[in-house]
């Protein structure tokens, strides 16, 4: 891998819920807090927001917000800048959910491995939130 190449963490899941329901869980602050972190999120282009947890915080800015389809935002934590993109595609039985966290440089192996582990956990919690919310 060359020094200019970057890696992505990509997680794809078939979820038995419509895109509208997943969109709510990705964009409503009280629901985001249940599966990810405390936040002051708004699904508005260029909105700057922050995720906060015990270990620190993540500074973000919305890059794209197309309801029930695409949500993308910058993710800046511990001196590392990256981008998270959610893509929702309706299927016959629910939604194909794709999460891509891109922009990991070769010397950011620890951040890359942390994101790989963290997003699996977060998506598991997201599915629990979806299962119990109306």
Query: Across all residues in the chain, what is the average pLDDT?
Result: 95
* Contact in structure between 64 and 80 (CB atoms under 8 Å): no
Q: What is the CATH number of domain 7-132?
A: 3.30.530.20
* Contact in structure between 73 and 83 (CB atoms under 8 Å): yes
Tens digit of each residue's pLDDT (9 = 90 or more) over 50-88: 999 998 999 999 999 999 999 999 999 988 899 999 999
Identify the band that residue 133 occupies on the pLDDT scale cut at 50, 70 and 90. Answer: confident
CA atoms within 13 A on the CB side of 98: 13
Q: What is the mean pLDDT of residues 94-110?
A: 95
* Beta carbons within 10 angstroms of residue 97's beta carbon: 23
* End-to-end CA separation in angstroms for the chain: 45
Global pTM? 0.94
Percent of the chain at pLDDT > 90 equals 90
pLDDT at 78: 82
Q: Is the pLDDT of residue 1 over 70?
A: no
Residue-range domain boundaries for the chain: 7-132
């Amino acid at each position: 891998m060359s020094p200019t190449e970057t890696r992505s963490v990509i997680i794809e899941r078939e979820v038995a819920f419509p895109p509208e329901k997943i969109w709510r869980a990705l964009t409503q602050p009280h629901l985001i807090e249940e599966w990810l972190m405390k936040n002051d999120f708004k699904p508005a282009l260029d909105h700057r927001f922050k995720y906060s947890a015990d270990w620190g915080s993540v500074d973000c800015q919305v890059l794209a917000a197309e309801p029930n389809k695409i949500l993308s935002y910058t993710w800046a934590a511990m001196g590392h800048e990256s981008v998270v993109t959610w893509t929702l595609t309706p299927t016959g039985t629910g939604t194909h959910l794709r999460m891509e966290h891109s922009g990991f440089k070769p010397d950011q192996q620890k951040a890359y491995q942390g994101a790989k582990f963290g997003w699996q956990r977060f998506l598991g919690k997201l599915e629990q939130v979806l299962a119990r919310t109306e």
